[in-house]
Amino acid sequence: MFSHREIWDALDALAARHGLSASALARLAGLDATAFNRSKRVSRDGRERWPSTESIAKVLEATGEGMEGFFADGGGYRQDAPPLGALASVPLLGFAQAGSGGYFDGGGFPTGQGWDEVRLPSAGAEGTYALEVSGDSMLPLYRDGDILIVSPVERPRRGDRVVVRTTDGEVMAKILYRRTAKQVELHSLNPAHKPRVLAAGDIDWIARIVWASQ
């Protein structure tokens, strides 16, 4: 999976190749002029913010570039990455389905039937999968149709956005605030909702959100 810095470096390199600033590139693609500003790349609390797949697609269309050109000239391209002309596929499931049985094993890895697929520049770590947001329960951060790329192998740290599945089958996207041997404290993506404290035994698995189309 490409890193936060590599994606933004690729956008900067693309703008430079076309003699544009980041703001001018955004305007050319029909986006808000501030969409690619450096101040937009990290939130006030220090969490990384990523450009959406939609905004990248608009930039590529506006400049006439392909995915290979997007990562060219050192702008995030890695020698160990798979060929960009042949995108890797990861399993895709609707968020509402994730609470049903049969889609995950005991470690939170995708399993069973009924999964769709989504294509990415890199498949990422083993077990990486995608969840599609439905409805408005995750506003204002995640909207209906947003895709969350989730990794069950990356150890979640305090402040990370995570997907949590309880033993009762409830699946939620939260911010991991505190985790001890006995309980886990989760903060909501929507500040209007109160934090939740769950007993460790009530949690089936926790997986880190490594990227989202926003």
pTM to 2 decimals?
0.57
Q: What is the DSSP letter of 45?
A: T
Residue in the structure block whose two tokens are 């450009």? 51
Closest C-alpha among 91, 147, 144, 146 to residue 114: 91
Residue-wise DSSP of 46-93: S-B----HHHHHHHHHHHT--HHHHT-TTSS--TTSPPTTS-EEEEEE
Mean model confidence pLDDT for the chain:
80
Which one, of 108, 99, 105, lies nearest residue 170 by Cα?
99
Q: Which of 26-35, 41-50, 78-87 has the lowest mean pLDDT?
A: 78-87
The C-alpha atoms of residue 203 and residue 164 are separated, in whole angstroms, by: 7
- Cβ atoms of residues 97 and 193 within 8 Å: no
- pLDDT exceeds cutoff 60 at 66: yes
The residue behind tokens 């050109």 is 69
Residue 37: pLDDT above 70?
yes
Q: For 77-126, what is each residue's pLDDT tens digit?
A: 333 333 334 456 788 888 878 888 788 887 888 887 778 887 665 555 67
Summarize the confidence of residues 155-180 as an average pLDDT.
90
The structural domains of the chain, ordered by start, are 4-70 (1.10.260.40), 88-212 (2.10.109.10)
Q: What is the dihedral of CA 38, 87, 155, 41, to 10 degrees?
A: 10
Per-residue pLDDT tens digits for 120-167: 655 556 788 989 888 776 777 778 888 888 988 888 888 888 999 999
Tokens linked to 183: 């309980």
Mean pLDDT to the nearest integer, 158-183: 91
What confidence category does residue 67 fall into, taking pLDDT thresholds of 50, 70 and 90? Answer: low
Distances (CA, A) of 150 to 47, 69, 163, 209: 16, 26, 8, 5
61 vs 80: CA distance, rounded Å: 26
> 52 or 65, which is more confident?
52
| Residue-level pLDDT at 85 | 42
